[in-house]
Amino acid sequence: MTEKQPQRTLTLEAITASAAQYESRSAWKRADQSAYEAARKRDLLDTVCAHMDPVPSSQALSLAEIRASAALYPTRQAWQRGNPSAYNAAKQHQLFDVVCGHMPASPRKLPLEALMASAARYQSRGDWKNADPSAYLSAYRRGLLDVVCAHMTSKLRPSGYWTLERCKESAAAYTRRGDWQKAASNAYAHAQKNGWLDLCCAHMSKQQRDRKWTHKAIEASAQRFNSKTSWHREEHGAYSAAKQLGIFEQVTAHMA
């Protein structure tokens, strides 16, 4: 029995180096599936596979066949994983708007080059986030912030800057502790060190309790995560509501 390889946390450089060893996507996927999946989940396949042979055209699928295939899946991600040939045919012939009408709209996905071009206009992450939040969030969710923000300078704060009031002000922009910690790690760290987390985050738990999870809101929440574990950890209310409404399997079809 083949020993299962431990999961790796792969950087863009590691993914690119792995892809460079192969001449086709299928060969790369067979040889280093973890790197391939990391690229797919972070929407980097076109970037790191540019040197490879083009994906062969899908074999003469009719519009009716593509439509029938799409109808079996609740999201584009689930369809891509379940029937890549039909998905690729729809992509090749620009049929997504025709056959994916029943699926929730996909969040904005920008190629790496577009993210870097957007980030290059700003000198700090905060300025970028305020000016182009969709590009910032795309980079954040795909783990690319360190890559596209390498040219930026951090804003140094004087000693004693992070008072309780400033930490509260920072936390007020977020509805989950995890989001606050990732986006404003200095403020979070000072609040944690001084025992202020409960004071700064008091509004978060209340907002989560008061929020009514509709079917559409649950789908939107689930689309932000790649695994059931991370969804449960970061947005437990939506996770529980999906189970209560009997739509859990539908909204998590794209997850690992």
154: left (phi over 0), alpha (psi -120 to 50) or beta: beta
pLDDT at 210: 45
Q: pLDDT tens across 112-153, in order?
A: 888 899 899 888 888 788 888 878 888 887 878 888 888 876
Q: 165: pLDDT confidence band, cut at 50, 70 and 90?
A: very high
Q: Select from 155, 233, 145 the least CA-distant residue to 182.
A: 145
As a whole-number percent, the residues of the chain with pLDDT over 90 amount to 4
Name the average pLDDT for the chain: 80
Residue 164 has pLDDT above 90, yes or no: yes
Residue 192: helix, strand or coil by DSSP?
A: helix
Q: Is pLDDT larger for residue 29 or for residue 256?
A: 29
Q: Confirm if 166 and 189 have CB atoms less than 8 A apart.
A: no
pLDDT at 130: 80
Residue 155 has pLDDT above 80, yes or no: no
Q: pLDDT tens across 190-232, in order?
A: 898 899 988 998 887 654 544 567 888 888 888 888 888 878 7
Look up tokens 């509004």; give the residue: 203
Helices vs strands, H then E, count in the chain: 21, 0
- Give Cβ neighbours of residue 219 (< 8 Å, ≥ 6 apart): 104, 251
Q: How far is CA 177 from the centre of its chain?
A: 18
Which residue type sits at 154? S
CA separation for the pair 19, 27 (Å, rounded): 10
Q: Confirm if 69 and 188 have CB atoms less than 8 A apart.
A: no
Residue 253 has pLDDT above 80, yes or no: yes
Q: pLDDT tens across 18-71, in order?
A: 999 988 888 898 898 888 888 888 888 878 888 886 655 445 788 888 998 898
Q: Confirm if 237 and 208 have CB atoms less than 8 A apart.
A: yes
Ranges of each domain in the chain: 12-48, 63-99, 112-148, 171-202, 211-251
